[in-house]
Amino acid sequence: MMSNPAIISDRARHLLRVLVERYISEGQPVSSRALARDMGFDLSPATVRNVMADLEDMGLICAPHTSAGRIPTTQGYRFFVDSLLTMQPLASGEVQRLRSELDPDKAIGDLMETASNVLSEVSKLASLVLLPRRFQPVLRQVEFLPLSENRVLVILVTNEREVQNRIVHTARQYSPSELQQAANYLNSLCAGQDLHKVRETLLKEMQETRERMNDMMRLAIEMADKAFAMPEPTPDYVVKGQAHLLSRAETDSVEKLRQLFEVFNEKRDILHLLNQCLHAKGVQIFIGAESGYDALEDYSLITAPYEARGQVAGVLGVVGPTRMGYERMIPLVDITAKLLGAALTQR
Amino acid sequence: MMSNPAIISDRARHLLRVLVERYISEGQPVSSRALARDMGFDLSPATVRNVMADLEDMGLICAPHTSAGRIPTTQGYRFFVDSLLTMQPLASGEVQRLRSELDPDKAIGDLMETASNVLSEVSKLASLVLLPRRFQPVLRQVEFLPLSENRVLVILVTNEREVQNRIVHTARQYSPSELQQAANYLNSLCAGQDLHKVRETLLKEMQETRERMNDMMRLAIEMADKAFAMPEPTPDYVVKGQAHLLSRAETDSVEKLRQLFEVFNEKRDILHLLNQCLHAKGVQIFIGAESGYDALEDYSLITAPYEARGQVAGVLGVVGPTRMGYERMIPLVDITAKLLGAALTQR
DNA sequence: TCTGGCGCTCGCCTCCTGAGAGTGCTAAAA
DNA sequence: TTTTAGCACTCTCAGGAGGCGAGCGCCAGA
């Protein structure tokens, strides 16, 4: 048992392929008879049964009960995906739709939302889009705006078009011109610097010029210290089309589904999983519990990282039952990632 | 049949109340025997049956089949909620939690997200939070930042702390100082104005000073025209805790549930519904299909608008099965709305 | 190496039954 | 007039029996 799948015969490969395809489309255990009919070769069910027995020994398929047909195991799907799958190109209409919806001029949040929506609609599965990480955010400009009482709105413009804003409580109330000066000072000192290193720069500056430091500089440093001390917004993701999972759920597995939904809400696990995929080169596939999360048993996850300006920016993908149409989903995820990347780069 | 529920006897009212409470907690048709036991009065099941027959005539309860107990109809729930319900104050720990999570210093998006999360966790239901509408957004400040090529990042600071940013394509590339001048011009001209009226102001200005208009002003007007022409971001909402609905779902109603999830995704219907609730004075309750949406049959929606600085800013609420614990949920939604409003006002 | 045949094992559908729950109705009691 | 007890009736649900058909494993023969 569990012989090496590498030494599997061509006929067995073909048989496995047809079996998996049929199980994916029908959702029911596949019998030797049906298989014999579906395969091109002219083989009797009995022969097919023999081959099936071999495949079962290898752990690629199994029978849910004594006298049912066979269904693929996780390893079966894995082998199918790795070695047997012939991808199906997307319908040109679908590509068209993806391309037109992923409009580079959309706001970044909208773009992610759109990507997730269109991905789930085309795939008829649930979709995930990890919001892009900011790479070594570089400070371009700082603005201070006085609010009511002792609060100041700090606007940080980073890199190309990211705008972050934070509210800082100050010791006393400052006038607009004081704030303006402080901002100018900071801009001249720190513009172009890595956001994380701004504080270091400021500390150094402070020590070097301790004597001739004036109020304005003190203010600038106080403000910056508080503003930059705030945590970066944690990365986040968008989930769409969970309803699709409900319609495809086997009626008995509601509990499994509930757990899955809970994982979607929890964020922590999903983020961990998606982060793993960030550094994969291309499309990555987790079948069943391969991802290491029990809640994903019976479900598969297909992901692909997307790049912006040559740097990995995030991950997107779809989640669906293990018996989903991989030959469509894999290209879909792949292309969506590429188009999203293009949209981000082109902005 | 369908006599006027107003002329219902005290005993019948009490009986209905106990019946609804029991059905909500048990989830199964309530028999005359159980009811006779649960009611304080010393009545025999037979008597209870007579009263139940009356209630059934009035359309307040019904029997799912000949020889089952009774369950409340939509009208029954309605009567219960309107006239029989005694609210249960929240546990002080829950109030504490709400108060501490709804921290005024959080970013506005985070605040909504948090509100939705905590609402769904405390209620164990799905929660909705409509993102606040901006009221007559008033322009405080404009900043222009040159991007690569002919693009300019426009940062609009409105009212107290809203920051919007948009990307504008310009006819030619402008230098930072040109942009700075244009921004100054716009700030002096339009600061403090209603965002929607800025364009009018500019047009008027343009006509009045057509002759002595210089390049800088032309630029300012070009930029502003493009920036302010962009659509306001459409209102949006947050849904959390859908998983709770799954765990409470009767196993057979998966299809209903799927439709509900689809409505959540669609946005259109939900937004329409929530917008209706914006102008209600306090907590509003839709039982079953009262909302007018089929997908909400078997589900109830409890909403309350929340205010910021005395103006209605948005709506929040929970969605759960009709047989939810109204006496807890109504105060919960009410208080959450108040606390969220307080957090928004205090900012 | 493949094939046909045979016996066997299950799962599933249907029918039936009995138990249990709960009602409606009626007639008697309060 | 209101309440109660009793009884017959209805309906659901769980369990068991039986029949059917799908599908397998194995074996012997081509």
How confident is the model over A186-235, as pLDDT tens digits?
A: 888 777 777 777 777 777 777 777 666 666 677 777 777 777 776 666 66
Question: What is the residue whose two structure tokens read 């006819």?
Answer: B171
Q: Sorting pLDDT into bands at 50, 70 and 90, what band is B231? A: low
Interface list for chain A against chain B, based on CB atoms closer than 8 Å: 105, 107, 140-141, 143, 145, 147-148, 153, 155, 157, 160-161, 163, 165-167, 233, 240-243, 246-247, 249, 251, 254, 257-258, 261-262, 264-265, 347
Interchain contact, B240 vs A105, CB within 8 Å: no
pLDDT at A101: 94
CB hemisphere CA count around A103 (13 angstroms):
6
Q: A10-24, B97-111, B193-207, B292-306: which range is least confident on average?
A: B193-207
The pLDDT of residue B3 is above 50? no
Q: Least CA distance to B109: which residue of chain A?
A: A233
| DSSP string for B52-75 | HHHHHHTTSEE-SSTTS-BEE-HH
Interchain contact, A157 vs B145, CB within 8 Å: yes
Span CA (B191) to C1' (D11), Å: 74
Judged by DSSP in three states, A160 sits in coil
pLDDT digits (tens, 9 = 90+) for B233-280: 666 899 999 999 988 777 667 888 889 999 998 888 999 999 989 888
Span CA (A68) to C1' (C8), Å: 13
Q: Sorting pLDDT into bands at 50, 70 and 90, what band is A2? A: very low
Q: Least CA distance to A261: which residue of chain B?
A: B243
Tell me the average pLDDT across B151-159: 78
Q: Least CA distance to A166: which residue of chain B?
A: B107
Nearest-neighbour CA in chain B from A61: distance (Å): 30
Q: Measured in Å, how far apart are chain B's first and last C-alpha atoms? A: 55
CA distances from B345 to A173, A220, A226, B341 (A): 20, 28, 23, 6
With DSSP H G I counted as helix, E B as strand and the rest as coil, what are the percentages for chain B, rounded to 5?
A: 55, 20, 30
Q: Which nucleotide's C1' atom has the smallest distance to the CA of A28?
A: D22
The pLDDT of residue A262 is above 60? yes
Point out the residue among A163, A247, A261 whose CB comes nearest to the CB of B246: A261
Point out the residue among A107, A143, A264 whose CB comes nearest to the CB of B143: A143
CA distances from A182 to A143, A144, B236 (A): 9, 8, 36
Query: Which residues of chain B does A241 touch, with a Cβ-Cβ cutoff of 8 Å?
Result: 265
For residue A121, which of A89, A98, A90 has the smallest C-alpha distance?
Answer: A98
Question: What is d(CA B265, CA B237) in angstroms, rounded to the nearest whole number?
Answer: 10
The pLDDT of residue A18 is above 70? yes
For residue B242, which of B283, B288, B299, B323 has the smallest C-alpha distance?
Answer: B299
Residue in A258, A263, A267 to test binding to B, most B beta-carbons within 10 Å: A258
Q: Alpha helices of B124-236 — where are they, by DSSP H?
A: 176-190, 198-208, 215-229
Task: Report the side by side order of strands in the sheet with B126-130.
Answer: B237-240, B126-130, B311-321, B299-308, B284-287
pLDDT at A3: 45
A29 touches strand D (CB under 7 A): yes
For residue B249, which of B299, B205, B295 has the smallest C-alpha distance?
Answer: B299
pTM above 0.75, yes or no: yes
With DSSP H G I counted as helix, E B as strand and the rest as coil, what are the percentages for chain A, rounded to 5?
A: 55, 20, 30
Judged by DSSP in three states, B212 sits in coil
Cβ-contact A302, A330 below 8 angstroms? yes
Question: What is d(CA B132, CA B38) in angstroms, rounded to the nearest whole number?
Answer: 45
pLDDT digits (tens, 9 = 90+) for B165-211: 777 777 778 787 888 888 888 888 777 777 777 777 777 777 777 66
C-beta atoms surrounding A279 within 10 Å: 10
Exposed/middle/buried for B241, CB within 10 Å: 0-12, 13-18, 19+?
buried
Interchain contact, B163 vs A148, CB within 8 Å: no
Question: What is d(CA B214, CA B185) in angstroms, rounded to the nearest whole number?
Answer: 12
C-beta atoms surrounding A78 within 10 Å: 18
Residue in B114, B258, B259 to test binding to A, most A beta-carbons within 10 Å: B258
Query: Which residues of chain A does B141 touch, with a Cβ-Cβ cutoff of 8 Å?
Result: 145
A53 touches strand C (CB under 7 A): no
A234 touches strand D (CB under 7 A): no
Q: Least CA distance to A104: which residue of chain B?
A: B167
pLDDT at B77: 96
The pLDDT of residue A291 is above 50? yes
Residue in B246, B255, B256 to test binding to A, most A beta-carbons within 10 Å: B246
B42 touches strand D (CB under 7 A): yes
Span CA (A50) to C1' (D27), Å: 13
Span CA (B29) to C1' (D9), Å: 20
Residues 11-30 of chain A within 7 A of strand C, judged by CB, are: 11
Question: What is the residue whose two structure tokens read 């890595």?
Answer: A194
The pLDDT of residue A277 is above 60? yes
Question: What is d(CA B248, CA B229) in angstroms, rounded to the nearest whole number?
Answer: 47
The pLDDT of residue A64 is above 90? no
Q: Sorting pLDDT into bands at 50, 70 and 90, what band is B281? A: confident
